[in-house]
Amino acid sequence: MAVFPEPPHFPPDDFASPGLPVDRANTTGREPLGDPQEIPDIADVDCPDELREKIEASMARYPDRRSASIPALWAIQRYYGWCTPDGIRQAAAVMQFTPAYLESVASFYDLFFLEPAGRSQIRVCTNISCWMRGGDELLDAFCRATGVDRGDAGHGGGVSEDGQFFVSGFECLGACDLAPMASVDERYFGPLTGDDVTAIVEAVRKGEDPPSGRALSERPLAGGQDPTDDPKVASLKGPNR
């Protein structure tokens, strides 16, 4: 029978852990919106009817109401311009969540704002397709037209001094066929030139729709507008189904 030597014995103090470093992410940042465990009573929260109806409509689409968190946050941001503490509390009351839960979702995504970020939001695609066709220069042009600091725009976004515009470079907006392009208040425009930038910014300042001809929504559908009898289209089945 094999005999193994006993492992060496060390005093416990030799392996005493100095402790884990303090994580600043747990000790800094926004103040929580009240008690993180408290679910607001809907009777105590004055939620605008329009906002409540949109949130309830989103909740009705999903078996688990947590799946409606992102649509609810979009509803808040579109109603108030950003995810305000009051808006988050109102949505939390309607959805029966804690405000901290909804705030945690909003803070994860950079398309949600937890502080004022301009009444009009412009995101310029600077990924490879747009970059090769002048995306950086397009971002420069939007910054000059709006007065947003170019350094801020290239590092998470910046707001113009008058609070009208939020401008940001964006890694990809998924519209390579429009390169170089930008999203203006959630509408896609492209391909854009410096002259287009001036016209878009002037129209937004006046509260008008940006000039036509560059909007994705105005482009003709592939294959044309006419109906077709092609069974591969009309039956909604592909060749392998």
The pLDDT assigned to 182 comes to 96
Q: What is the DSSP letter of 215?
A: B
pTM above 0.85, yes or no: no
C-alpha distances (whole Å) from 29 to each of 26, 82, 189, 241 are 8, 18, 35, 52
Residue among 184, 179, 69 nearest 123 (CA): 184
Phi, psi of 215, rounded to the nearest 5 degrees? -80, 140
Q: Is the pLDDT of residue 35 over 70?
A: no
Q: Where in the chain is the domain with CATH 3.40.30.10?
A: 120-217
Rounded Cα distance, 92 and 100, in Å: 9
Which listed CATH number (3.60.15.10, 3.30.70.100, 3.40.50.360, 3.40.30.10) goes with 120-217?
Answer: 3.40.30.10
Q: Where in the chain is the domain with CATH 1.10.10?
A: 33-108
- For residue range 159-214, what is the model confidence (pLDDT) as tens digits? 999 999 999 999 999 999 999 999 999 899 999 998 899 999 999 999 988 887 88
The pLDDT assigned to 237 comes to 53
Of 13-22, 67-76, 208-217, 223-232, the range with the highest mean pLDDT is 67-76
Residue 15 pLDDT class (50, 70, 90 cuts):
very low
Question: Tokens standing for 80?
Answer: 């108030």
The CATH fold of domain 33-108? Arc Repressor Mutant, subunit A (1.10.10)
Q: Is the pLDDT of residue 28 over 70?
A: no
Residue 227 pLDDT class (50, 70, 90 cuts):
low
- For residue range 49-105, what is the model confidence (pLDDT) as tens digits? 999 999 999 999 999 999 999 999 999 999 999 999 999 999 999 999 999 999 999
Rounded Cα distance, 77 and 207, in Å: 19
Is-contact 127 138, C-beta < 8 A? no
